[in-house]
A and B are shown apart, each in its own frame.
Chain A
Amino acid sequence: MAAKKPRFNLAIVVLLGAYFTAAFVVLTRPGAALSNDGRPVIRIAHWQIEAGPREALDAMIARYEELNPDVRVEQVAVPGNLYKQWLRTQLIGGSAPDIIEFGSFWGGVDDIPPRFFDPISRFVEEPNPYNDGTSLEGMKWRDTFRDGLNTPDAYIENLSNYYAVTLCMTSMRVFYNPSLLKEISGSETLPDTYREMRALGGTLREYNQTHDTKITLYAGSKFTGDALMLERMSSYGGLGLSFANDRFREQGMRKRDGALEYIRGHWNFEHPDMQASFILMREMAGQLRPGYQQMERDAAIQEFLRRESLMILAGTWDATSLRSLSPFELEVTVFPWPTQTDGQLTSHYWGPVSEGAGTTNAAFYLNKAGQHKEHALDFMRFMTGLEGNTIFAQTSGWLPSVRDVEVPDYAQSYLPRFEGYSVRTSYMRGFGSETREVWSRHMHHLTSSNGGVEPFLEAFHQEFPDALLRDLTKDLRDVYLSIRRDLPPLTALTVLDRLEGLDSNRHRSRLRRESNQAITEAKLYEAEFLMQHGPAMDEME
């Protein structure tokens, strides 16, 4: 016993020594949150773990620290599948970073901005000092963004305030393998019409037969399959139908209007436009590998990089990863979606289709509980100033969010195409989770080799109408919740004007929200009216 005691003590001493050494190194390393060099440390959290953004942030941080040697900045990159839970835990625990990427599109997170983020409205109305001496000097900070920060994540309508600044723009593009394309078709350039794209599919089939290969036209995964067929082929093919039922003259049916016109009996999936779209979707599914619906997005990227497919439809957020991982030179272009001139089955495809108004993405917010908010705000100004955003764009390969930041030649093709028809109805994914689930469950009837349009519609029709009603019911329940939630804040704004005197911004904001609410309630009641009366309402005087 006596001989063992010194060994035990020695082990404790060694362990304690190792612990304190490690703690010292961790806590005092450059940029550490508990750095003892006296400099405030700003932490910025995001989920952009693709190749590009992390390196770009490092480069921005390096330049910022050069300009501001009294401040340290650290980035915290958390994978997207963990980010939402991680962020909520950090915010509630009071240990969240100073600058936080956040997106309302996650759903169920509307409570976060008012609870945890500071509004930045008064700051975005002032010039960004990091733009001094540039073409953007003197311009309001918000006007220096390509979209004027006119995006729901930057300006939160319900809170009547700007809350975030954005870092980039994104779009969907087709990335292809020109050398493989040449080997198969004799040309290094991807067809620029859908007619030729269909012909390329035929050429590829012959190539596979003669060379005993299994190269696919499109890299397959649930993500790419949905992006190609559900989000685009069906929606674009239904554009004419959407215009035909454009009751409120807004250039197409919005989500709930589409559901109501269906209940009213004014369109259905037997419509020739939808039937033709289904045939083209089935044809397209045959150009993806079997079982693609069970594959993750990464599997499609691997398939493409292994030269097992000619092209992949991907977001430009994957562009830098694709370029850096690809063992071959790749090219990128806009996918040639069908137009009326593309022959059989495409006469109802109106084109071109707009890719939207070019809003900016990757919104970063200021943590209300941050210890160094002035410094955090300063870094937000830097990363969205002309120099900072240029560093971001050049290093990440992503599109910039700030005006006058040069877009490199290779990224010109990423710029969203603005001109074209606006698609407002997503027939397969747009009505809600219940109908989406019916689509997902029966999609194999349409896409499998022994399936077809008729078996699909037969199975689909048995469930779609009830699922649509369930989606509508849920949708209306959410509208009620939203109206209830807005009543106390709107009352508060009115009372504040009475107690404090008129604040013109507050007054304008309330009027705008009340006007929006009136239309929201009209839409709610239209849906309830139609759910009660159905097609019979068209007989009413």
Chain B
Amino acid sequence: MLIVCEMPRLIPLGRLLCVGLSGILSAGANPTPEVAIWEKLSVYQSAVAELELDDLPSPDNAAEQRERDFCAAVVHLDQQPLSESRLNVVEKRFVALIEAEDNDEIARASRYLMGRIAQVFRATPDAVKAADYFRGLAEQPGPGIWGEQARMKLTLLTLYVLPIRTPSERLELAETYLEAARDPIAVRDMHRLLARAILFYNFPPKGALEHLLAADKIGGLVGTQAASQLVQIGELAWDEGDEELAAHYYERLSKEYPRDPRIFLMQQRLAGEPTPGRGEVVNGR
């Protein structure tokens, strides 16, 4: 059972409901023989997965054969040694899946994976080719998470790799992808990417602060990433002279991550003690 999940911009609760409904409906379906193979792949046991794949009974119909072919292509992609000829074989398998049906979930996953092959698997990455796959997925509605995933990768390539004249043009174009994003988690992560790029290209840090505040509003980060984002907002706010905002985010850090040693810096500041500061080279143009 496939559920169309190119969702409009939803509040997190609505999104969870949609995902949950998808899960409940899919759970009713009979598990396919490929489940055991996917489980092996999910924990990096691709060699075992390949062996077990060979032992599966033949599929009964075209739909099952399609599931099997997709699974086999991903398993083959994960085998060693990784060579250009192996990638060519995998690409041919994905192409065959796309030619049979070009926008069901398997086709969209295949298109995404072909983009990733061009982007990160080839000995000489082809960012333009990868971006074409990602752009196509992002612009064409369809089932699954692949459109949002593709938009994220397109944003990354736009910010750093694609032939674009200046960093400011890169950021402007990436902002348009952010506006098009609908999934709250994808929106959050794109805010985070834009904040990082602003700091990397040394644009005024205020823009990075705004993006990180927007990301924080969506929430959902955990662990080190979440703690570091609180520190980043606190530090950017401090640099902007907004001591109240900085103190608020460090209070959250103390409450949510009481063992994070970075709390100490703000304590020193609040106690009026001298503290190390950032240099001019990172304070924007």
Of B2, B120, B188, B199, the contact of A247 (CB 8 Å cutoff): B199
Query: Do B231 and A251 touch across chains, with their CB atoms under 8 A apart?
Result: yes
Instruction: Please indicate the chain A residues that have their CB under 8 angstroms from the CB of B197 in the complex.
Output: 522
Do the beta carbons of A525 and B156 come within 8 Å of each other?
A: yes
Please give me the residue from chain B that is nearest to A354 by CB atom: B261
B169: nearest residue on chain A (CB-CB)? A541
Tell me which residues across on chain B come within 8 A of A251, comparing CB atoms: 231, 235, 262, 265
Interchain CB contact under 8 A, B160 and A525: yes
Q: How far, in whole Å, are A273 and B19 apart by their CA atoms in the complex? A: 54
Segment from A196-204, A427-435, A491-499 that makes contact with B: A491-499
- Contact, CB under 8 Å: B42 / A489: yes
A138 at the interface (CB under 8 A from B): no
Known contacts A251-B265, A507-B19: A538-B279 contact under CB 8 Å:
no
Assembled-state Cα–Cα distance A474/B201 (Å): 24
CA distance A89 to B238 in the complex (A): 54
Name A's interface SS.
Answer: helix
Stretch of A224-232, A321-329, A413-421 contacting B (4+ beta carbons < 8 Å)? A413-421
Q: A500 touches which one: B26, B78, B277 (CB < 8 A)?
A: B26
What residue of chain B has the Cβ atom nearest to residue A490's Cβ? Answer: B42
Residues of A within 8 A of B105 (CB): 498
Q: Does A480 sit at the interface, judged by CB under 8 A?
A: yes
Interface 0/1 of A365-404, CB less than 8 Å to B: 0000000000000000000000000000000000000000
Q: Is there a chain B Cβ closer than 8 Å to A249's Cβ?
A: yes
Establish whether residues A356 and B189, one from each chain, have CB atoms under 8 Å apart when the complex forms.
no
Q: Tell me if A29 is interfacial: C-beta within 8 Å of chain B.
A: no
Interface window among B55-63, B95-103, B131-139, B218-226: B218-226
Q: Is A358 an interface residue (CB 8 A)?
A: yes
Closest partner residue, chain B, to A257 (CB atom):
B200
If the complex has contacts A114-B45, A494-B109, are A350 and B31 also in contact, measured as CB distance less than 8 A? Answer: no
A357-B259, A528-B160 known; A498 and B231 CB under 8 Å? Answer: no
- Contact string against B for A residues 243-281, beta-carbon threshold 8 Å, 1 for contact and 0 otherwise: 111111111000000000000001000000000000000
A245-B279, A492-B74 known; A422 and B42 CB under 8 Å? no
Interface positions of B from 69 to 122, Cβ below 8 Å from A: 71, 74-75, 77-78, 82, 105, 109, 113, 116, 120-121
A147: interface (CB < 8 Å): yes
When C-beta atoms are compared, the residue in chain A nearest to B149 turns out to be A514
A491 to B197, alpha carbons, bound, how many Å?
27
Residues of the A chain whose Cβ atoms lie less than 8 Å from the Cβ of B19: 502, 507
Assembly CA distance A512 to B219 (angstroms): 12
Distance A528 CA – B188 CA, assembled complex (angstroms): 25
Of all chain A residues, the one with the shortest Cβ separation from B202 is: A538
CA distance A327 to B278 in the complex (A): 50
For the complex, is A461 an interface residue (Cβ under 8 Å from B)? no
Smallest CB-CB separation from B183: which chain A residue?
Answer: A511
Interface residues on B, range: 35 or more
A464-475 Cβ-contact flags toward B at 8 Å (1 or 0): 000000000000
With A115-B45, A497-B23 as given contacts, are A491 and B232 in contact (CB-CB < 8 Å)?
A: no
| A115: chain B residues within 8 A (beta carbon) | 45
Give per-residue flags for B252-263: 1 if the beta carbon is below 8 A from chain A beta carbons, else 0: 000000011110
Tell me, in angstroms, the Cα distance from A294 to B275 when the chains sit together.
39
B168 in contact (CB, < 8 A): yes
Does B239 lie within 8 Å of A515, measured CB to CB?
Answer: no
B166 within 8 A of A: yes
Complex Cα–Cα for A463 and B9 (A): 53
- Check if A489 sits within 8 Å of B44, measured CB to CB: yes
Q: Which residues, 147 to 184 on A, are CB-close (under 8 Å) to B? A: 147, 150, 158-159
> In this complex, what residue of A is CB-closest to B236?
A249
Take A247-B199, A502-B23, A522-B160 as given contacts and tell me if A418 and B39 are in contact as well, using a CB distance cutoff of 8 Å. no
Residue contact B231 to A515, C-beta cutoff 8 Å: no
Give A510-541 as 1s and 0s: 1 = Cβ < 8 Å from B's Cβ atoms.
Answer: 01101110110110011011000000011011
**In the complex, A240 has a CB within 8 A of chain B:** yes
Report chain B residues within 8 Å CB of A506.
42
In angstroms, Cα B145 to Cα A328, docked, is 67
Minimal Cβ-Cβ distance residue in A for B190: A518
Given contacts A491-B74, A515-B225, A519-B192, A529 and B160 within 8 Å (CB-CB): yes
Chain A hits for B192, CB < 8 A: 515, 518-519
Most A CB contacts (10 A, CB to CB) among B24, B25, B120, B277 go to: B120
B231: chain A residues at CB < 8 Å are 249-251
A244 and B41 CA atoms in complex are apart in Å by: 44
Residue contact B260 to A511, C-beta cutoff 8 Å:
no
Q: List A contacts of B277 (CB < 8 A).
A: 243-244
A113 to B151, CA, bound (A): 33
On whether the beta carbons of A250 and B228 are closer than 8 Å, the reply is yes
Is A495 within 8 A of B38, CB to CB? yes
A499 to B277: give the CA distance in the assembly, Å.
Answer: 52
**A266 and B279 contacting across the interface, CB-CB below 8 Å:** yes
Is B128 interfacial (CB-CB < 8 Å)? no
Cβ A499 vs Cβ B26 within 8 A: yes
| Contact of A62 with B by CB under 8 A | no
With A488-B46, A525-B159, A541-B168 known as contacts, the answer to whether A243 contacts B278 (CB < 8 A) is yes
Query: Which residues on A are within 8 Å of B, measured CB to CB?
Result: 111, 114-115, 147, 150, 158-159, 239-240, 243-251, 266, 350, 354, 356-358, 418-422, 480, 483-485, 487-489, 491-503, 506-507, 511-512, 514-516, 518-519, 521-522, 525-526, 528-529, 537-538, 540-541
Given contacts A114-B43, A501-B28, A506-B42, 5 further A-B contacts (CB under 8 A): A245-B282, A249-B231, A491-B113, A496-B38, A502-B26
Sample 14 A-B pairs with CB under 8 A, ordered by A number. A243-B277, A244-B282, A245-B281, A422-B264, A488-B74, A488-B77, A488-B78, A492-B39, A492-B74, A497-B26, A512-B223, A522-B193, A526-B160, A541-B167
Q: Which residues of B contact A (CB under 8 A)?
A: 2, 19-20, 22-29, 31-32, 34-35, 38-39, 41-46, 71, 74-75, 77-78, 82, 105, 109, 113, 116, 120-121, 144-145, 149, 152-153, 156, 159-161, 166-168, 185, 188-189, 192-193, 196-197, 199-202, 205, 208, 220-223, 225, 228, 231-232, 235-236, 239, 259-262, 264-265, 275-279, 281-282
